[in-house]
Amino acid sequence: MTKKDDETQRVQYLLDIEYHYAAGELATRFFTELKEAGRIMGMRCSGCHRVYLPPRPVCGICYKELKDWVPLSDEGIIVGCTVVHLPFIDPMTGEQRPVPYGFAIIRLDGASTSIYHFVDETDEKKLRVGQRVKAVFREPRTGSLHHDIKYFRLVGK
């Protein structure tokens, strides 16, 4: 507790929340493939052929149950991006990442949906929608999308 130059007490506090959750059947397979083979897997709908990443049990468009796993590329394109200067809390560590850092919504080749990830670029002029990116893996892998892939790097024009 600190006291500033006025008369009012300021109360400092830290809420530190550690939590675990059971990933469920599909995410268990997804994380296991990632850890053991370094492979990013999506699920394809047999009706509309959309490929969901991360995997989900039912197609949101067709309401068909998804059964087909498909390996996806470790490359894709940026569909949304920013350079973060006011960091949010990284749930891998509970801490804020050092700023600035690149952050993007990425559509991997072969997927119909997008994931978010970090990008190894903080120059706003180089981060563009449509820019191709490639995953940079970290060893040893633990089966966490935001640990095993350190970040995405930009690839040639």
Partner 1 sequence: MDEWVVHQRIKIPFMYTAGRALTRFLEGLARGEIWATRCASCGRVYLPPLNFCGRCWRGIDRWCQLPPLGELISYTIIQRPLPEHPDRSPLILGLIRLDGADTNLVHLIGDVDPSEVERVTRVRAVWRDERPASILAISHFAPLT
CA within 13 Å, CB half, 127: 21
Between 13 and 63, name the residue whose CB sits nearer to partner 1. Answer: 13
Residue 138 within binding range of partner 1, rule CB under 8 A: no
Residues numbered 114-133 forming contacts with partner 1, rule: CB under 8 A: none
Residue 9 within binding range of partner 1, rule CB under 8 A: yes
Burial of 141 (0-12, 13-18, 19+ CB in 10 A): middle
What is the nearest approach in angstroms of partner 1 to the Cβ of residue 75? 25
DSSP output for 112-129: SS-EEEEES---TTT--T
What are the backbone dihedrals phi and psi of residue 43, each rounded to the nearest 5 degrees, phi first?
-125, 135
Of 61, 89, 99, 129, the residue at the interface with partner 1 (CB under 8 A) is 89
Between 12 and 130, name the residue whose CB sits nearer to partner 1. Answer: 12
What is the nearest approach in angstroms of partner 1 to the Cβ of residue 35? 9
For residues 105 and 107, give the distance between their C-alpha atoms in angstroms, rounded to a whole number. 7
Residue 27 within binding range of partner 1, rule CB under 8 A: yes
CA dihedral of residues 106, 107, 109, 111 (deg, nearest 10)? 140
Of 47, 48, 94, 136, the residue at the interface with partner 1 (CB under 8 A) is 94
Question: Which residues contribute to the site for partner 1 (CB under 8 A)?
Answer: 1, 3, 7-24, 27-29, 31-32, 89, 91-95, 143-144
